[in-house]
Amino acid sequence: GLPPPSDADDAEWLKWRTEKMTAFAKELHDTLRKARPNLLISISPAPYPWSLQHHAADWPGWVKSGWMDEYVPQLYRDNYSRVEKEWPQQLALMGVDRKRDLVGGLRIVGAGADTPWDDLRKMADLVRATGGGGHCWGSGRGVLDDYAKQLTDYYDVETAGPAPHPKR
């Protein structure tokens, strides 16, 4: 019943908000599982610890609770060097037995310049090489317009066939 503190970084305020978000995550999981037991539950949080500090979303705690099937942290960076630094940190939060449940959310376009194709290719290759569950591209325009040819060549579905979903 009290108004929020003037300091958004107040430890008690963050703790209270995190508890509320965690209770919501559990309720979401329980409600979805009851309605559709075989549904694949996927969420796309901000990278940790930013997700905790700014959205009160302690998704690594949710991983430990087993509530979601797939996590797609939004590593929406416009260059490879930042993803190369941040991806292993996110992967480590999953634990060895859940690495395949982490999918890299990769930015093609956004505010500022488009991510260069060579950086995008290296980002996707990094996720593959480190045992993550795959990657998804942030931006339909980037997939359909900006890098359609490069992505078609990268996946070469005619030669390799479609990749199976890691959960199927």
Q: Could you tell me the pLDDT band of residue 156, with boundaries at 50, 70 and 90?
A: confident
12 by Cβ neighbours in 10 Å (0-12 / 13-18 / 19+) ranks as exposed
Widest Cα–Cα separation across the chain: 61
The pLDDT mean for the chain works out to 91
Does position 140 have pLDDT exceeding 90, yes or no?
no
Q: Could you tell me the pLDDT band of residue 165, with boundaries at 50, 70 and 90?
A: low
pLDDT over 90 for what percent of the chain? 75
Q: Which residues, including other chains, have CB under 8 Å from residue 53's CB and lie 6 or more apart? A: 9, 14
pLDDT in tens, 21-68: 999 999 999 999 999 999 999 999 999 999 999 999 999 999 999 999
Average pLDDT in the 92-117 region? Answer: 93
Does position 144 have pLDDT exceeding 90, yes or no?
no
CA dihedral 155, 160, 166, 168 (to 10 degrees): 130
pLDDT at 158: 63
3-state DSSP assignment of residue 88: helix
CB atoms near residue 112 (< 10 Å): 8
Does position 5 have pLDDT exceeding 60, yes or no?
yes
pLDDT at 164: 58
Query: Which of left, alpha, beta for 70 (phi over 0: left; psi -120 to 50: alpha)?
Result: beta
pLDDT at 1: 77
pLDDT at 2: 81
Helix crossing, 80-92 with 117-129: angle to 10°? 20
Does position 163 have pLDDT exceeding 70, yes or no?
no
Give Cα 1 to chain centroid, integer Å.
33
Q: Residue 75 carries which side chain, given as an amino acid letter?
A: L
